[in-house]
Amino acid sequence: MAAPEERDLTQEQTEKLLQFQDLTGIESMDQCRHTLEQHNWNIEAAVQDRLNEQEGVPSVFNPPPSRPLQVNTADHRIYSYVVSRPQPRASYFAAGDILSPLFHKGLLGWGYYLIMLPFRFTYYTILDIFRFALRFIRPDPRSRVTDPVGDIVSFMHIFEEKYGRTHPVFYQGTYSQALNDAKRELRFLLVYLHGDDHQDSDDFCRNTLCSPDVISLINNRMLFWACSTNKPEGYRVSQALRENTYPFLAMIMLKDRRMTVVGRLEGLIQPDDLINQLTFIMDANQTYLVSERLEREERNQTQVLRQQQDEAYLASLRADQEKERKKQEERERKRQKEEEVQQQKMAEERRRRNLQEEKERKSECLPPEPPPDDPESVKIIFKLPNDSRVERRFHFTQSLTVIHDFLFSLKESPEKFQIEANFPRRVLPCLPSEEWPNPPTLQEAGLSQTEVLFVQDLTDD
């Protein structure tokens, strides 16, 4: 194992680096360090993300989907819970107090409120127009999201530095990825938007969000995604959810096949109150998740059944195709066999025809038979393989080839044969060979005036 670079690493980080490499089997130390830095040196999250990648689940540090899920924020059944902050009696220009009187007692307060109302309305109207025009001159840098995961990791790092590591498990991915996971797993998604400049944010994070009971509820029953609205990713989510004040929590779930905001919690909520509100929202909407889960199971069963039917159909189709293929092969073999038989018949017919033509040609080329009184003639009696006898006269000076041609021209003679003499027993060289390039004459072969020769069938040989 390569030694880690201890430069700029603490002893704890070095130990985590070596432990992460042992757990994941990654050989490159630079890659291990880069992965741990992406996860803010949270070794559990880094190992889990690595295992997700090996199982085919995209890493949370991959680019977010090009088309994020749309969240329905206009459900008329949305549950909203706002904790109002007590307002100072002497503050007349506090944000959000345009339509509420500052003095709750006495005619003097109501009169002062009515007198100041036109001036306050004009002031805030001009201020809103100025802010609107300023957007065109100087666009908000938060509107450009370039590194959404970096925004999440940066917020987690700042949160842990300020409030410690005892907190709910943050979802280490983009808002879109959190929505996708909540939809896929049919879980509640709790979104927390952190207002860095709000006076209640510090108290909420330190005393409510880091409460052990709140941590246990969130970790066991939902996904938790958080980001600061000063970060581009948090600002983008803020523009979508349109919070009114901070701290802000939104409960999102799959409802009627759409990711829907089913609960909004705003203001400084105490731990017990937060637990009660979250439990109430989940209990009120649990039936939607159960229904969606049943529908998904039914769709999965239908899909499995359809897949099984398709597989059975394909198996039957393959079996039919295999039967048809075997039938086709059998037909092809039968056709080829018939063609071979036909070709053999034709070849045999051609052979017989050629043989007959050859016999006729040999017969026509035979020299005439000498008369019986010719002293130079030889009378030869041939015994054929079928026990028949043939008699003919030849001239002493004629070649033994003539004897062979004569026998060959006979209809009853075999196709291939040899001629043997009995005294002495020998095979007459009637055809040219290496030993006898030119077959001898009857006289040279030692034949007498009367001979009996035997024809031996060599067709089988």
Kindly tell me if the per-residue pLDDT of 203 is higher than 70: yes
Q: Which of 31, 28, 38 is nearest to 61 (CA)?
A: 38
What is the rounded average pLDDT of the residues 455-459?
A: 85
pLDDT reported for residue 54: 59
State how beta strands 417-421 and 389-395 pair.
unpaired
Residue 144's pLDDT band, with cuts at 50, 70 and 90, is low
Helix (H, G, I), strand (E, B) or coil at 281: helix
Q: Is the pLDDT of residue 281 over 80?
A: yes
For residue range 255-268, what is the model confidence (pLDDT) as tens digits? Answer: 888 889 999 999 99
H or E segment and range at residue 252: strand 248-255
Beta strand pairing call for 258-266 and 71-72: parallel
70-79, 311-320, 408-417: which range is least confident on average?
70-79
Residue 455 burial class via C-beta count within 10 angstroms: exposed 0-12, middle 13-18, buried 19 and up: buried
DSSP line for 347-407: HHHHHHHHHHHHHHHHHHHSPPPPPTT-TTEEEEEEE-TTS-EEEEEEETTSBHHHHHHHH
DSSP 8-class letter at 230 = T
Q: Dihedral of the CA atoms 360, 361, 363, 365 (nearest 10)?
A: 160
**Span of 69-73, 143-147, 455-459 with lowest mean pLDDT:** 143-147
Supply the pLDDT for residue 35: 82
Return the higher-pLDDT residue of 336 and 433. 336
Cα–Cα distance measured from residue 458 to residue 85, given in angstroms and rounded to the nearest whole number: 125
Position 369, amino acid: E
**Looking at the predicted structure, is the pLDDT value of residue 138 above 70?**
no
Does the pLDDT of residue 141 top 60, yes or no? Answer: no
If one compares 419 and 74, the residue with the highest pLDDT of the two is 419
The pLDDT confidence band at residue 91, using thresholds 50, 70 and 90, is very low
Give the pLDDT confidence score for residue 53 in this predicted structure: 63
pLDDT (average), residues 34-42: 81
Neighbours of 64 (CB within 10 A): 19
Residue 369 exposure: Cα atoms within 13 Å on the Cβ side:
10
Confidence of residue 52 (pLDDT cuts 50, 70, 90): low
In this predicted model, which residue has the larger pLDDT, 102 or 107?
A: 107
Q: What is the mean pLDDT of the chain?
A: 82
pLDDT value of position 88: 47
d(CA 458, CA 314): 61
What is the pLDDT confidence band of residue 117, given thresholds at 50, 70 and 90?
A: confident
Q: Are the beta carbons of 447 and 421 closer than 8 angstroms?
A: yes
pLDDT at 106: 59
Strands annotated E in 3-119: 71-72, 79-82
> For 225-235, what is each residue's pLDDT tens digit?
999 999 989 99
Between 68 and 336, the more confident residue is 336
